[in-house]
Amino acid sequence: MFGSVEREDLERWLGEGRSFEAIAREVGRHPSTVASWARKYGLASPHAQKHAAKGGLREDELRELVALDLTVAEIAETVGRSPTTVRHWLAFYGLRTTDAARGRRAIEGEGSDLLAECPTHGTVRHVRRGARLRCARCNSEAVSRRRREVKRILVEEAGGACAICGYDRWIGALQFHHVDPGQKRFNLGLKGLARAIDDVREEARKCVLLCANCHAEVEGGVASIPPSALLHIRG
């Protein structure tokens, strides 16, 4: 016995072609509970047999399973198909799993990464941050915004223009050149800009601001940094 339904009874009802929802009404439980019993007993919904030929999933059947608050993984197990196939046909019919299903999946989790609902990007990969889930795309965009803002601050504090030619049209073409490579802790590139602001400011004090062309010429030994641009350098 599992819960309040014997395996034999559940197997018989499914064999009669009853849906999870119909069984749930009879036993006074939620349809998702009935679906859970079926999975634990190793039983399949009668819908699964309809897909033995591995054709497309039917819209009416998917709608019924979605209405049971089943997750994509649970629907896949019920119909005997892969989660990828279920996601494809859900998208094909413009269907989505319910808030309850997505919330349950988020609580249960599947490793460190899982699909969950983002208000901005829809159903996308989420990552765990302690006890919280965060949309991976939102996280990436937030990191990019912070890097751009940190670079803007550093460029402004370094004078806002190339120390040699005065170029200042596009911040993306401005770079930080370490005057003494032996004092360099890290590059002030993408990963470096993700560090704490106090750390990157300390590192920027060891550098002069150059445009990409002048930076290449300095590295190649065909251009020199004006002495006035070196007054702030800290070893």
* Element housing 34 (H / E): helix 31-41
Q: Which residue has the tokens 């036993």?
A: 27
In a domain, 126, yes or no: no
pLDDT per residue rounded down to tens, the chain (235 residues): 334 577 777 777 777 777 776 777 777 777 767 777 777 777 766 555 444 445 678 787 788 778 877 788 778 766 777 788 888 889 888 898 887 777 655 554 444 457 778 888 888 777 765 556 778 788 778 878 888 899 999 999 999 999 999 999 999 999 999 998 888 888 887 677 877 788 889 999 999 999 999 999 998 999 989 888 887 675 4
State whether 102 and 143 are in the same domain: no
* C-alpha to C-alpha distance for 39 and 37, rounded to whole angstroms: 5
Given this model, what pLDDT does residue 52 score?
43
pTM above 0.75, yes or no: no
Domain assignment of residue 186, given as a range:
139-230
Q: Are 143 and 194 in contact (CB under 8 A)?
A: yes
Q: How many domains does the chain have?
A: 2
State whether 99 and 176 are in the same domain: no
Domain boundary among 69, 89, 108: 108
